[in-house]
Structure 1
Amino acid sequence: MKAVILAAGRGSRLRPITDYIPKPLVPLQGKPLLEWILLGLAAYGIREYVIATSYLAEQIENYFGDGKRWGVEIAYSRGNAPAGKAGEVWRCRELLAKEPRFLVVPGDTLCQLDYCEFMDFHTRTQGVVSVALSSRYRLEVGVAEVDKANRITGFLEKANLDRPVSTGTYLLEQSIFPYIERFAPEQQEVDLPAQVFPVLLQEGKGVYGFVRDYAWWDIGRVNDYEAIAHLPPHEAQAVLAPGSSINQKEGRQT
């Protein structure tokens, strides 16, 4: 199975760092972020990749090349400007033409998702889309409990949200492409969860959620990036090393 890594964004939340380097190449513990993501996927036996690039694409392509240094095969889909998640997948369509299904992974997120279990889940459900959902999301603000008389009855400081959230990883069937095409992806940015998935739901197509309690970190934000970038090496290993178990006290447990 091929994996599409979405690495086309401008990384505006990480400026001024991303004024000079693309977000997937920001350094973490001696390696670019995207290299850690690639190593994590390769640890699950994924050997073929399409990296969707746009902003400062040459830097990404020059660093990773054809992937042989990591024992994998890498092809690239480059656009003049970011096209949204669905638009980036659309641009990759010729490179995915022989794939009955494929994995889509964000290029700015570290997570401890079990990709093999995720793929088995998708095979069993036989849906058009499977979405990786984590039940571990800690709110970044305190919330109050208020009764009907508007009296505060309690406070919850940065509590866990009691609903699964998408971590941006999907398994898509080849049949997703006609649905993306409806939104004219060559003319405008098109998003998967905001635009394409609702149409699938309206038409009764199979969209399934793979819910597990796993940690993930959105490195597209300065606070999360700095938190992991400055971890002592032995603690960073728990976050970055493929197949490692996450120390639940470290990083953004979302």
Structure 2
Amino acid sequence: MKTLILAAGKGTRLRPLTAYVPKPMLPLQGKPLLEWVLLPLIAAGMRDFVLAVSYLAEQIVNYFGDGARWGVTISYSRGPEPAGKAGEIWRARELLHSGDDPFLLVPGDTIAHLDYRELLDFHRSHGGPVTVAFSRRYRLEVGTAELDEKNRVTRFREKANLDQPVSTGAYVLDERILSQIEALQPEGREVDLPAEVFPRLLAQGTPIYGYVGDYSWWDVGRMNDYEKLTGLSPAQAGEILGGGGRDGHLQSL
């Protein structure tokens, strides 16, 4: 089974740090961010990886090479510009081909305590072309309120947990998804997976399944997110980066 890791973006929300270093290569507790993404996947038994790269790609290629240092195989899908989640799948389609096996898609900037084996078992047991990984853990950055018919506040909740599953950016897909992406004419433009491809599937009556878990995750997409992780104590870093943390979303740190 193959795993596609998205590492092509320009990381504009992390400027100026990403002006000369691609986001996946930003240092985090002694390793590049992308290595912390890779290690749990290896621990879950993944051995065949495709890295979708574009912006400052050589830095990623020079560090990770062919994957031999970690006992895995790494190939690279390259393009002059980022292509969006679905566009990167289309660009890497020949590298992802592995018969009837599905493939795993994960973001290169998110650390998740997701049980990948359980996710894959769920996907296989349901038989659909797509499974989306959801977490019950997401803490809102803003306060919310309940109002009565006269607009009087009856209840106020400060940065509460969202009461519904949130996508953490990991998907299991099979090659049936390729025809859906091709129909959107992905050559030369960005094509998004949840915003463009998934609505097509739903409109056709094709099932998209959701695996829901109670796992922690950290999306390192903004400067304050990154600074929180780099500022962790050794004990906190071990809990989060070692996969044992139970503290919820990064915003709760």
TM-score greater than 0.5 by the shorter chain: yes
CA distance in 2, matches of 1:249, 1:208: 23
Alpha-carbon distance change, 134 to 249 in structure 1, aligned in 2, over 3 angstroms: closer
Q: Deviations over 1:147-195 (max 9, x none)?
A: 1111111210000111101000000011100000011111311000000
SS at match of 2:176: helix
CA shift digits 1:42-101 (9 cap, x unpaired): 000100000000000011001100000011100000000001000001100010122431
CA distance in 2, matches of 1:177, 1:16: 36
Distance 1:97 1:151 in 2: 57
- 1:19, 1:178 → 2: CA distance? 36
Match in the other structure for 2:87: 87
1:171 aligns with 2:177: no
1:76 matched to 2:72? The reply is no
SS in 2 for 1:174: coil
2:250 is paired with a residue of what secondary structure?
coil
1:248 maps onto 2:224 in alignment: no
Moved more, 96-105 or 64-73: 96-105
Structure 2 unaligned residues grouped into runs of 5+: none
Structure 2 CA distance for aligned equivalents of residues 41 and 8 of structure 1:
19
Q: TM-score, normalised by structure 2?
A: 0.97
Aligned residue in 1 for 2:52: 52
Report the secondary structure of 1:179's partner residue.
Answer: helix
Q: Structure 1 pair 33/207, CA: closer, same or farther in 2 (3 Å)? A: same
Kindly indicate whether residue 122 of structure 2 is the aligned counterpart of residue 125 of structure 1: no
For residues 93 and 5 of structure 1, the distance between their equivalents in structure 2, rounded to whole angstroms, comes to 13
Q: Could you tell me which amino acid in structure 2 is paired with residue 140 of structure 1? A: E
CA contact (8 A) 1:136 1:215 kept: yes
Counterpart code for 2:21: I
**What TM-score do the two structures reach when normalised by structure 1?**
0.96
Whether 1:2 aligns to 2:16 is no
Counterpart for residue 138 of structure 1: 139
Q: Secondary structure at the match of 1:21?
A: coil
Do the aligned residues in 2 keep the contact of 1:216 with 1:252 (CA within 8 Å)?
Answer: no
Alpha-carbon distance between aligned partners in 2 of 1:153 and 1:98, rounded to the nearest angstrom:
56
Alignment of 1:82-231 (within 5 A): 82-100=82-100, 101-231=102-232
Report the CA distance between 1:234 and its aligned residue: 1.6
Q: Could you report, residue by residue, the CA deviation over 1:216-242 in whole angstroms, capped at 9, with x for unpaired residues?
A: 11111111111111101121011111x
Contact 2:141 2:251 in 1 (8 A): no
The 1:99–1:74 alpha-carbon spacing in structure 2 relative to 1, beyond 3 Å, is farther
Instruction: Output the CA distance in 2 between the equivalents of 1:2 and 1:235.
Output: 31
1:247 positional shift: 3.4
Cα root mean square deviation, aligned: 1.3
Q: 1:6 to 1:165 in 2, by over 3 A?
A: same
Percent identical: 60
The residue type equivalent to 2:52 in the other structure is A
Matched letter for residue 179 of structure 2: P
Q: Does the aligned pair in 2 maintain the 1:133–1:209 contact within 8 Å?
A: yes
> 2 CA distance for matches of 1:249 and 1:67?
31
- What is the letter of the counterpart of residue 246 of structure 1? G
- How far apart in 2 are the matches of 1:117 and 1:228? 27
Task: Tell me the SS of whatever aligns to 2:235.
Answer: helix
Q: Mind listing any 5+ residue stretches in structure 1 that lack a counterpart?
A: none
